[in-house]
């Protein structure tokens, strides 16, 4: 059967004793005798081959090995407790779903739609994490993530959600104050707001339009949300995904100087470990998100 871990009962006893630094208090919490706790700890120490506790001036203290061990097993025990509570409360049909997304996609597209999901499925709680780097599903406690790319992520499954139609955008005040901007060649006289994470965006867009101007000059921003705010503030002209700026266009914070769209080869995708396909709450969310994406694709045509 392979190498065996200490029993769950022994691990719980050790965690309680380490938290209280008292065998007596741990025994009271666990409804055991003090001698039973002491015996469990001795059995664990013999099995592991290290001392977990020591007496310092009649006080119980963790050894260095004990401090390190309890720090790691406490996280695992908390996860087991949370998983058990979720299962008992929702009978496998609900609970917490961890989702990672890029910041701008989350703020501008996903979050405005989540109220509808919560109303339809109140038993499922969505926990969102945002950053632009790849997510570590296990380390970050995530069930799935939204990535932008060309469906080339190893070791996971993915479903395409929405492609990216890129448009020019700037503030109305910028458009009024600057030289005319009615065709791609006019951009030679304008400030191009650059996306640090997609450095070739302007070059690819201008090449597709047959325009030969310097595509690399302009202030650089790390995130789409920063570029959107820079464009709203009148700092220059941005290339932005249409799906992320529809609200700003409708509110008059941004305008599209002229229509000359460009469709990226990449798209937003729902990415997840294969094991998630057996999780009922994930399948509910996945079906809902794919339906939302299909509806959005229809709106953007």
184 and 253 share one domain: yes
CB-based contact 219:193 (threshold 8 Å): yes
3-state secondary structure of 55: strand
For position 201, what pLDDT does the model report? 87
Q: Are 48 and 100 within one domain?
A: no
Record the pTM: 0.61
List Cβ neighbours of 31 (8 Å cut-off, separation of 6 or more): none
34 and 55 share a domain?
yes
Number of domains in the chain: 3
pLDDT tier at 74, thresholds 50, 70, 90: confident
Residue 175 sits in a domain whose CATH number is: 3.40.190.10
Q: Are residues 177 and 243 in the same domain?
A: yes
Specify the DSSP element, H or E, that contains 176. Answer: helix 172-177
Q: Which of 75, 90, 105 is the last residue of a domain?
A: 90
Phi, psi of 158 (to 5 degrees): -150, 150
User: Of 62, 90, 118, which residue is a domain's last?
Assistant: 90
Contact yes or no for 267/163 (Cβ under 8 A): yes
Amino acid 87: pLDDT: 62
Residue 26 — very low, low, confident or very high, per pLDDT cuts 50/70/90? very high
Q: Are residues 148 and 274 in the same domain?
A: yes
Same domain? For 256 and 220 the reply is yes
* CATH number reported for the structural domain that contains residue 41 in this entry: 1.10.10.10
């Amino acid at each position: 059967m392979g190498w065996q871990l200490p029993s769950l009962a022994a691990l719980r006893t050790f965690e309680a004793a380490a938290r209280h630094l008292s065998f007596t208090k741990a025994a009271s919490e666990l409804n055991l005798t003090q001698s039973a706790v002491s015996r469990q700890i001795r059995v664990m120490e013999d099995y592991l081959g290290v001392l977990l506790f020591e007496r310092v001036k009649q006080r119980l203290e963790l050894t260095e090995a004990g401090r390190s061990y309890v720090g790691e097993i406490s996280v695992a025990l908390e996860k087991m407790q949370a998983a058990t509570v979720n299962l008992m409360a929702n009978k496998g049909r609900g609970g917490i779903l961890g989702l990672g997304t890029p910041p701008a996609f989350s703020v501008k597209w996903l979050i405005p739609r989540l109220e509808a999901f919560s109303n339809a499925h109140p038993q499922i709680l969505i926990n969102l994490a945002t950053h632009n780097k790849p997510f570590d599903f296990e380390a970050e406690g995530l069930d799935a993530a939204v990535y932008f790319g060309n469906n080339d992520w190893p070791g996971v499954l993915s479903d395409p959600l929405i492609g990216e139609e890129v448009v020019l955008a700037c503030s109305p005040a910028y458009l009024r104050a600057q030289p005319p901007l009615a065709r791609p060649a006019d951009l030679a006289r304008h400030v191009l707001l650059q996306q640090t994470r997609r450095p070739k965006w302007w070059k690819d867009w201008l090449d597709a339009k047959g325009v030969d101007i310097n595509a690399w000059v302009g202030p650089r921003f790390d995130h789409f949300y920063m570029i959107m705010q820079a464009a709203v503030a009148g700092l220059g002209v941005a290339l932005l995904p249409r799906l992320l700026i529809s609200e700003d266009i409708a509110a008059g914070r941004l305008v599209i100087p002229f229509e000359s769209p460009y469709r990226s080869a990449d798209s937003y995708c729902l990415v997840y470990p294969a094991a998630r396909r057996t999780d009922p709450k994930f399948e509910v969310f996945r079906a809902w998100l794919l339906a939302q994406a299909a509806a959005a694709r229809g709106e953007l045509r």
